[in-house]
Amino acid sequence: MRVRLVKSFTFEAAHFLPTFPDGHKCRRMHGHSFRVEVAVEGDADSAQGYLVDYGEISAAVEPIREALDHRLLNEIDGLTNPTSEMIAAWVWRRLEDRLPILAEVVVHETCTSRCHYRGPLA
């Protein structure tokens, strides 16, 4: 049985987007209550009845959440331009070895704006 599991986590952080035009509101420092969804996908073990324990996903995500929470994202190595797209790819790179069945990372920057990232192109 093919399934997709999704685990969400949140963090509070500030950022500014240095590549936006002068005068654009996002070029100024501001903060968000980010929500990130981590999706894994695969065939559930028929004997056990599940794909992976949600706790394994949480354990893989927690160091990433701690690295982002209550930080200025621009100061984090690899996030000097912390757009939703860049944050999603940054999270993916830190999870892909720990969650080999990683299928998607979704970064919700606001209640109405989000980025879906499904990994680098082969």
pLDDT digits (tens, 9 = 90+) for 7-28: 999 999 999 999 999 999 999 9
Give the model's pLDDT for residue 121. Answer: 74
Let me know if residue 122 belongs to a domain: no
What are the φ and ψ backbone dihedral angles of 104, each rounded to 5 degrees? -165, 145
Task: Give per-residue burial for 63-98: e unless 16+ CB within 10 Å, then b.
Answer: ebeebbeebebbebeebebbbbebbbbbbbebbeee
pLDDT, mean of residues 42-59: 96
115 an active-site residue? no
70 an active-site residue? yes
Let me know if residue 39 belongs to a domain: yes
Confidence of residue 42 (pLDDT cuts 50, 70, 90): very high
- In tens, the pLDDT along 66-99 reads 999 999 999 999 999 999 999 999 999 999 999 9
Catalytic-labelled residue, pool 66, 70, 85, 116: 70
Give the model's pLDDT for residue 60. Answer: 98
26 an active-site residue? yes
CATH number for position 86: 3.30.479.10
Catalytic-labelled residue, pool 26, 32, 41, 115: 26
Q: Which domain holds residue 25?
A: 2-117
**Domain count within the chain:** 1
CB 99 within 8 A of CB 60: yes
